[in-house]
Amino acid sequence: MHPSESVPFFITRVLAYCLNYQEGLEFSAGISEPDDPAIQVKGLTGQIELWIDIGNPAAKRIHKAAKSAKQVKIYTHKDIRKLVEDFKEEKVHKLEELGLYSMDQKFLNAVGATLERDNHWEMTLNEGELYVGVGKESFQCRIVPYSFTAEGG
């Protein structure tokens, strides 16, 4: 956990990593390097195949990401409506292809309250429902996707 991260941001970042796990997936220097995504997959040529941002990134940042990466996803622990408004106003590139997912703040805080120096989680995703087991405790959250359409949402 980076010192500048809030607990909900950190938990969202870790869960986004787990939910998108694939070969080559890595935490980038996105927290220390503001031009990098929080999580990424780079192809053999060095192009970013998958760009994942956390929180409420600026529309201009996502516009730039959508032009350079093959796929862009955002996992937010904040009000998704603000992101949607900003992205529509700024005319983000390939808006309809953007993956935008919302996680419940109470769920993130509850999982965050279990954090220790060494953490072991069991995760299951079933039809949009995420279950996280931490020791004897269990937490549940609906991963809410937002779909942009050509008509505007």
Share of the chain above pLDDT 90, in %: 67
- Give the integer Cα–Cα distance in Å for 12 and 52: 11
pLDDT at 79: 86
Please state, in angstroms and rounded to a whole number, the distance separating the CA atoms of residues 64 and 92: 8
Q: In what order do the strands lie in the sheet with 129-134?
A: 121-126, 129-134, 137-142
Q: Classify 126 as helix, strand or coil.
A: strand
pTM of the predicted model as reported, rounded to 2 decimal places: 0.89
153 pLDDT higher than 60: no
